[in-house]
Structures are given as structure tokens and as C-alpha cells.
């Protein structure tokens, strides 16, 4: 009897030791011999917690990490949220909403020069006709690509699209409920997101490869608002899976992005991409629009930045770095449940009063009649095609 009590005390001591570890590497190095068995610690990547081998209440499913070699190697990465970078990328996300067909091209570049202190040059707007969308005035899938030689940075911003609350017709309902495998990471994502990615990403990749030829050491910053954020995550995951951009050079900031994929996708994404931040805010419910408790059982990726702020946040505004774990106790989840009936007007207020219109209001309108588009599969509106 005494021996059993001693063994139990040892196991409890191991469990207490495991709980104290806050990173994968240190967690998986811990092991203790109890009689004829080695009891080790296991890391849960969804919860960012360490638990004892064999426990059944950790809520990590099949995704616990047992070996240090299986941990994401982030020791050489500087993983830090930068609110000033977030503000700049929010403005780029706003520019992605602008359809260059209806605006003066010189005025677009002038607005960019003003907003970003003359350091950036818009290279291209990429527009693809997403004919499978029912709402014809919202059928265009788009991205804008810019570069800075002085900062050695390439920007990719994806246009957001209408949220699931605007579903209109059975064809769109299918797109929002059917799931498709996303090969670069494994796991499943919405058919709606995959269709958009499959038709737009080849255009983005072609332009990015061309830019990286002349700027091979450039950092690549990818961003997007709402569903544009989902496209930013898919593009980032694919670029990493295909080893086109190093982990150290890739930075992803999304604003009010919905859940993108299932647990398999979220787990693989977290392992592939280091510097990825999901910026959320009070009373923006878009991040909650795809269910985790019911079909399709989607999960957020890690690293949520939450602004509990009723107005337009600034780089100096307080924020909270939240865990989005297996149970999804991220900040937007908790606050969303508390105020689900509140106004959703804040869904566009990320560092600017209205993200969908902010950059449009700074540009002079002028119909371009599709001048400059290269082809109908990947229509390109060049704003400054020279790559110097």
C-alpha cells in the first residue's frame, strides 16, 4: 500500500513539473522513471500547455507532441507583434478593396506615397472573376502587391469578401458548407475559400516570384481583412509548404479573419508559419462565423491579438495576446458570447474608421475601361510594373 502511495506521489510530482513548462522544447525534455516505466511530459500545441503522458483530460486530441524534434523550431525567429506594422497593414488591406478599374491610376500611387511616407510603390492589382459567386457586384476576387526598396519589403494584401451573413442563394450555401482538402497543409477548408485561393494564388505567386528575383532577401508581409485574412493565411501556408519564402522572412497579419480550416489545418499551419497574428476586436463577430462546436468544426490558428476597444484603435492602444486553444478560450470567443446582440459596426474599424472605404476616399475616381489587363484568367492592372 505504501509503495502505491509513493508511486502516486511521484506521478503527481511529475505532473506538477510538466505544468510549469511554457514551451514545447523544455516540456518534451522532461521525463522521470517510475518503477519500470518512463513517464514523460507532452506538449499540446493548441493549448500551449504541458501535461503528463497518459492523461486523458488535456483536451489535445491526437495532436500532443512527444519528442523535442517534433517541436516547431522557432529559436531563430523573432516572433513579436508590432502594432505599428499592424496599422500599416490595415491600410494595405483597405487598399485591396479598391477596384482600380474605377479609379485614376496616378491618384492611387499618389495616395500610397502619402500614406506610407513615399517608401512604397504599388506594383500590381490582381483581379480574378469569381463567377461562382451569386452576388455579381461582389464577384471580383482581388489582391494588391507593393514593394519598398528602401525597406526591402514586399506587401501582399487580399481583398475581403462578403461574410457568411450575406449568403444569398443555394449555390453560396454549398460553398460555405462543403469542405475541400487543402493539400499544402493537409486538413480541410471551406469550398468557398479554396475556390478563391485556387483561382487567385497562381497570379499572386507569379508576381511574387518576379519581385523576389530582384529582391531575394526581402521580407514578405501578407495581410487581409475578413475573408481576405483567410486568403492571407492560405497563401502564407502554401508559400511555406512550397518553401518559396523562409519562415524568418514571412509575416502575416489578419484583421477580423474567420476560422479557416479544421483542426488538421490549424495544427499544420501553426507548425509551418511562425510570425502570424490574428487581430480581432470588440464587437466584430466575423471571427466567430464558422462554427467550431458544430459542422464544419473549424479551429482558429494561434496568436490572437485582441483589442477590447469601442473606437478606432491606435498603435498605442492596449491589447491582449490571447490563446486560441482546443477549447478556443481566445478573447474574441469569450467577448463575442457576451455581446453577440451588440452592433457589428466595429467589424471594419481596424486602425482606421472604415477599412473598406478608407483608401478609396483618398483616391480620385476615373474609369480605366480595363486598360492594362493582361488576360481574362489573371487580369493584372499595372500601377508601376518596372522592377528597379
Q: Does 77 fall in a domain?
A: no
Domain stops at, among 47, 70, 93 = 70
149 phi/psi in degrees, rounded to 5 = -75, -35
Does residue 227 sit in the same domain as residue 196? yes
E strands, 120-187, are: 121-129, 140-148, 153-158, 179-181
More confident residue, 359 or 387: 359
Q: Is residue 366 predicted with pLDDT exceeding 80?
A: no
Tens of pLDDT along 255-305?
A: 999 999 998 999 899 889 989 999 999 888 888 877 777 777 888 998 999
Of 225, 198, 2, 282, nearest in space to 97 by CA: 225
pLDDT at position 128, please? 85
Does residue 189 sit in the same domain as residue 280? yes
Q: What's the mean per-residue pLDDT of the chain?
A: 80
Tens of pLDDT along 2-58?
A: 555 444 555 555 666 788 887 888 888 887 665 556 778 888 776 677 888 776 555
Tens of pLDDT along 144-169?
A: 999 999 999 999 999 986 544 444 44
Q: Is residue 244 predicted with pLDDT exceeding 70?
A: yes
Sorted by sequence, the CB contacts under 8 Å of residue 369 that are 6+ apart come out as 101
Domain stops at, among 17, 41, 70 = 70
Task: For residues 200 and 150, give the distance between their C-alpha atoms in angstroms, rounded to a whole number.
Answer: 28
The bridge status of strand 140-148 relative to strand 121-129 is antiparallel
Tens of pLDDT along 94-144?
A: 999 998 888 888 889 999 999 999 999 999 999 887 766 555 455 688 999
pLDDT at position 183, please? 93
Q: Does 186 fall in a domain?
A: yes
Q: Which region among 77-86, 130-139, 143-152, 307-316 has the lowest average model confidence (pLDDT)?
A: 130-139
pLDDT at position 379, please? 65
Does residue 15 sit in the same domain as residue 130? no
Q: Does 78 fall in a domain?
A: no
pLDDT at position 125, please? 92
- Tracing cell 514545447 back to the chain, one arrives at 24
Does residue 178 sit in the same domain as residue 288? yes
Task: For residues 239 and 286, give the distance between their C-alpha atoms in angstroms, rounded to a whole number.
Answer: 25
Does residue 199 sit in the same domain as residue 228? yes
For position 224, which CATH number holds?
Answer: 3.40.50.1820
Does residue 64 sit in the same domain as residue 88? no
Largest CA distance in the chain: 86
Element (H, E) at 199: helix 191-214
- pLDDT bin (cut points 50, 70, 90) of residue 383 is low
The boundaries of the domain holding residue 39 are 2-70
CA angle 214, 219, 225 (to 5 degrees): 120
Q: Is residue 74 predicted with pLDDT exceeding 50?
A: no
Q: Is residue 198 predicted with pLDDT exceeding 70?
A: yes
Does residue 91 sit in the same domain as residue 25? no
Sorted by sequence, the CB contacts under 8 Å of residue 382 that are 6+ apart come out as 123, 124, 372
pLDDT at position 267, please? 87
- pLDDT bin (cut points 50, 70, 90) of residue 89 is very high
pLDDT at position 238, please? 97
pLDDT at position 370, please? 47
Q: Does 235 fall in a domain?
A: yes
Task: For residues 92 and 352, give the distance between their C-alpha atoms in angstroms, rounded to a whole number.
Answer: 11
pLDDT at position 8, please? 53
Q: Does 351 fall in a domain?
A: yes
- pLDDT bin (cut points 50, 70, 90) of residue 86 is very high
Q: Read off the C-alpha cell for 258.
A: 474567420
More confident residue, 388 or 329: 329
pLDDT at position 282, please? 86
Sorted by sequence, the CB contacts under 8 Å of residue 320 that are 6+ apart come out as 305, 306, 308, 331
Does residue 235 sit in the same domain as residue 329? yes
Q: Does 142 fall in a domain?
A: yes
Residue 75 CB coordination number (10 Å)? 8
Task: For residues 119 and 112, give the distance between their C-alpha atoms in angstroms, rounded to a whole number.
Answer: 9
Sorted by sequence, the CB contacts under 8 Å of residue 20 that are 6+ apart come out as 50
CA angle 146, 218, 260 (to 5 degrees): 70
What is the number of domains present in the chain? 2
pLDDT at position 155, please? 98
Residues of the chain above pLDDT 90, percent: 42
- pLDDT bin (cut points 50, 70, 90) of residue 339 is low
Does residue 44 sit in the same domain as residue 130? no
- pLDDT bin (cut points 50, 70, 90) of residue 192 is confident
Amino acid at each position: 500500500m505504501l509503495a502505491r502511495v509513493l508511486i502516486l506521489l511521484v506521478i503527481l510530482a511529475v505532473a506538477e513539473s510538466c505544468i510549469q513548462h511554457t514551451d514545447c522544447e523544455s516540456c518534451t525534455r522532461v521525463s522521470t522513471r517510475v518503477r519500470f516505466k518512463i513517464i514523460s511530459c507532452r506538449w499540446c500545441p493548441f493549448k500551449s500547455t504541458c501535461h503528463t503522458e497518459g492523461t486523458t483530460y488535456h483536451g489535445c486530441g491526437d495532436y500532443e507532441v512527444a519528442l523535442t524534434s517534433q517541436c516547431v523550431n522557432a529559436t531563430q525567429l523573432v516572433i513579436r507583434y508590432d502594432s505599428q506594422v499592424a496599422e500599416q497593414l490595415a491600410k494595405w488591406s483597405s487598399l485591396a478593396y479598391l477596384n482600380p478599374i474605377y479609379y485614376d491610376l496616378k491618384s492611387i500611387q499618389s495616395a500610397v506615397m502619402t500614406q506610407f511616407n513615399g517608401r512604397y510603390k504599388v506594383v500590381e492589382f490582381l483581379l480574378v472573376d469569381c463567377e461562382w459567386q451569386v452576388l455579381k457586384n461582389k464577384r471580383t476576387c482581388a489582391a494588391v502587391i507593393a514593394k519598398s526598396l528602401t525597406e526591402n519589403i514586399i506587401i501582399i494584401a487580399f481583398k475581403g469578401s462578403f461574410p457568411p451573413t450575406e449568403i444569398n442563394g443555394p449555390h453560396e450555401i454549398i460553398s460555405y458548407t462543403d469542405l475541400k482538402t487543402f493539400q499544402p497543409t493537409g486538413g480541410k477548408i471551406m469550398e468557398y475559400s479554396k475556390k478563391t485561393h485556387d483561382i487567385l494564388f497562381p497570379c499572386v505567386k507569379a508576381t511574387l516570384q518576379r519581385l523576389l528575383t530582384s529582391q531575394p532577401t526581402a521580407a514578405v508581409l501578407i495581410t487581409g481583412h475578413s475573408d481576405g485574412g483567410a486568403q492571407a493565411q492560405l497563401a502564407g501556408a502554401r508559400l511555406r509548404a512550397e518553401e518559396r519564402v523562409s519562415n524568418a522572412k514571412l509575416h502575416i497579419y489578419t484583421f477580423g479573419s474567420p476560422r479557416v480550416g479544421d483542426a488538421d489545418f490549424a495544427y499544420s499551419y501553426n507548425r509551418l508559419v511562425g510570425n502570424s497574428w490574428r487581430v480581432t476586436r470588440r464587437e466584430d463577430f466575423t471571427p466567430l462565423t464558422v462554427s467550431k462546436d458544430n459542422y464544419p468544426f473549424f479551429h482558429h490558428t494561434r496568436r490572437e491579438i485582441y483589442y477590447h476597444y469601442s473606437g478606432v484603435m491606435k498603435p498605442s492602444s492596449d491589447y491582449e495576446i490571447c490563446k486560441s486553444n482546443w477549447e478556443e478560450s481566445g478573447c474574441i470567443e469569450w467577448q463575442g458570447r457576451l455581446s453577440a446582440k451588440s452592433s457589428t459596426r466595429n467589424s471594419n474599424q481596424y486602425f482606421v474608421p472604415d477599412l473598406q472605404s478608407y483608401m478609396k476616399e483618398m483616391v480620385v475616381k476615373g474609369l480605366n475601361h480595363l486598360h492594362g489587363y493582361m488576360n481574362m484568367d489573371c487580369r493584372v492592372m499595372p500601377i508601376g510594373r518596372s522592377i528597379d
